[in-house]
Structure 1
């Protein structure tokens, strides 16, 4: 098992890439904004941060991921071809599989953002470096800031097929007993038996669909709306601990 509580002076370069899908954009647009604090990793969206791609504005993101892969410049090969509007490689990246097993388990402890227009997400995404069909995703959770209440939080969880014809997209919403400002731990496992997702040790989703190919971990903070006149920056979320096995 690999455990990171982000207690060092810098990110572990043997585990994390601090860019969001850098192959589809440019380095200055994909690089994460973050702080290492006594409470863990604080992902930030700053007022001067660029949109991830100009075509996708408004969409700003600070992300950590555990692998990179792309084809050559101008090609359509690369991890997480999640859009259908002509993603092409703008920055060729080295194949790096820091953590990308074909079965495994992750535990991620977070405090979700409550900043308007933000979403905190954790995904396990097919790297596609062996086969372009290996593109499925385990959505461990997606939490919109507006879905965080005083006592409960609504999250999206499930499986996304993307370009894998062997899978069927199966997403659902769950309500978990986690209030504003509270830490909570999400667990996801995938293997021959399928996919299981839990929050606080309680199973919230299961599927018999099998994603038996390398998946990389992605931890993302997005801002997906134009800032309002009273928006305060930085917007942020906390990642307290990640355990990988």
Structure 2
């Protein structure tokens, strides 16, 4: 049975708070949640110290926060101390974390770890993660962040661990309040994002500093999908395969410019929730796809007698129309199931070819952009060239294409 990948839910179009989603999510079971409805932090779930193992004075890493109208409000004050001057300069931070453990996230490469007793409020692998939040309206340098880091359970130190991935689901700068910035990096993990993947675009709707909006990530063995107000906005193919912990925090400075004199700087988090799919998380479940064109409704496939990738009805041997999506440093390679060959444009012929090209060839690597309910594949080497069917020649072409061209829009259909 075929199911469609990357479909979006309807979203509100008027500038107003996005209502909270129901706690019950069809096809999922709630695994962890904090609605922040009390007047104190649930210390069985969170610590209010920010990476205290990297601070010589852990009290400087303690958060400022309050609870207001059913929300957690994290804030930075003018007289707040830098959390770790020895490693992070003037950066101030107020955070809550779902863990406390030595050596986690060694951003500065130091050996100067302050030993901590390991504690986990919540760590997990895979799931649908969601917050509802209103962002800071203060300008200047700094940002609010919702992010996850690997719990490094393979070793007891940073330098030898391979479970060091970082996923920044929300990392929006005060200076760009109407943008949504996401990022990911594997650090020492050789199998996830060996270079920084950073994506920032204007939010699809609304004013995030004046209204509450919903930010979410669906983490599966094959991908990370990022949602704004229930709308799928961007995808990373490939994902960490180990448990991670969560951080919610607000910073000044921190690589996002020098802070201004507007105080306090604060953001509101209405809730934090994690659901698990009732189907479980089988890594092989969604490895094979059909690739269907929006304009023609036809499928990309390989004819072994022809050099170029074709499109049309699914051939009798349907494996020629099945593709595996492989992640390479934030890009994807499209590998044919029948031939083990990749789509590429190495020969600059104007047509998408297939062949057994090395994994390092940028001509076979594609960025993926969400366009409405579809995906647009743009070549890493020829950075303004995308796969399309504009000339209706039954052969995949590549070239400059506006996002509005249906001929350059594709749908991955899970087999």
Query: TM-score by structure 2 length?
Result: 0.53
Aligned to 1:101: 124
Unpaired runs of 5+ residues, structure 2, are 1-29, 156-160, 276-415
Aligned twin of 1:157: 182
The one of 188, 200, 206 aligned to 1:178: 206
Distance in structure 2 (CA, Å) of the matches to 1:114 and 1:162: 31
Structural mapping, 1:176-215, within 5 Å? 176=203, 177-179=205-207, 180-215=209-244
The alpha-carbon deviation at position 227 of structure 1 amounts to 4.5
> Which residue is equivalent to 1:73?
none
Q: Distance in 1 between matches of 2:78 and 2:98?
A: 26
Deviates more, 1:137-146 or 1:154-163: 154-163
Q: What is the distance in 2 between the residues matched to 1:189 and 1:227?
A: 33
**Structure of greater Rg:** 2
What is the distance in 2 between the residues matched to 1:111 and 1:196? 21
Cα contact 1:68–1:127 (8 A) shared by 2: no
Q: Deviations over 1:136-191 (max 9, x none)?
A: 0121011111111xxxx212213211221212232211221231311111111212
Which has the higher relative contact order, 1 or 2, with Cα contacts under 8 A spaced 6 or more apart?
A: 1
| Cα distance in structure 2, aligned partners of 1:107 and 1:236 | 20
Partner of 1:62: 94
> 1:216 Cα shift?
0.6
Q: Given the two structures, how large is their TM-score scaled by the length of structure 1?
A: 0.88
1:42 has 2:73 as partner: yes
Residue in 2 that maps onto 1:79: 104
Contact persistence 1:196–1:205 (CA under 8 A) = yes
Instruction: Compare 212-221 and 165-174 and name the one that shifted more.
Output: 165-174
| Aligned residue-pair number | 230
Partner of 2:174: 145
Q: Does structure 1 residue 5 correspond to structure 2 residue 28?
A: no
Q: Which runs of 5+ in 1 are unaligned?
A: 71-77
CA change 1:206–1:87 in 2 (3 A) is: farther
Q: Is the 8 A contact 2:142 2:259 kept in 1?
A: no
The question of 1:121 aligning with 2:151 is answered no
Answer yes or no: is 1:20 the counterpart of 2:50. Answer: yes
